[in-house]
Amino acid sequence: MRSLFIKRAHLKEILTKARESKVEICGFLIGTMKGEDAFVDYVVFAENRLNSPVGFEIDPLETLKVLEKAEEEGKEVIGIFHSHLNCPPYPSPRDLKGMDLWRNIWLIVNNTGEYRAFVLENGQIKEINVEVI
């Protein structure tokens, strides 16, 4: 995995919601892989059912619907995103457990407008480039 390509409008929408929310926001990045690069076609916001400022959880049924829709469209869930409040956009120990289950791209933003993307590779956190297009 080399880079995550995301449109400015999509990133802005995520960052705006993250800034305005009192709890972590979360959702899915739907798109296509081209070789080592991931391209976001659209984003789907999901409900954080923990409703927490320090963690998030997405309903498995909601996840399944998103997966099925992406598959029907010939796309894939290339990543998930969530926000942190008043701390850097770096995977928390809790996130690491999620990353172990969801081996795709983890885009993490925070309420001050920072954003970084990570994948778990051989048990190690690896940061990947975010290319805003």
Query: Known catalytic residues?
Result: 24
Q: Is 96 exposed, middle or buried (0-12, 13-18, 19+ CB in 10 A)?
A: middle
Q: Which is nearer to Zn ion, 33 or 125 (CB)?
A: 125
Q: Which is nearer to Zn ion, 39 or 118 (CB)?
A: 118
Question: Tokens in use for 99?
Answer: 């990353």
Q: Which residues bind Zn ion (CB under 5 A)?
A: 92, 95
Q: Which is nearer to Zn ion, 32 or 92 (CB)?
A: 92
Q: Nearest residue to Zn ion, using CB?
A: 95
The span from the CA of 63 to the CA of 9, in Å, is 23
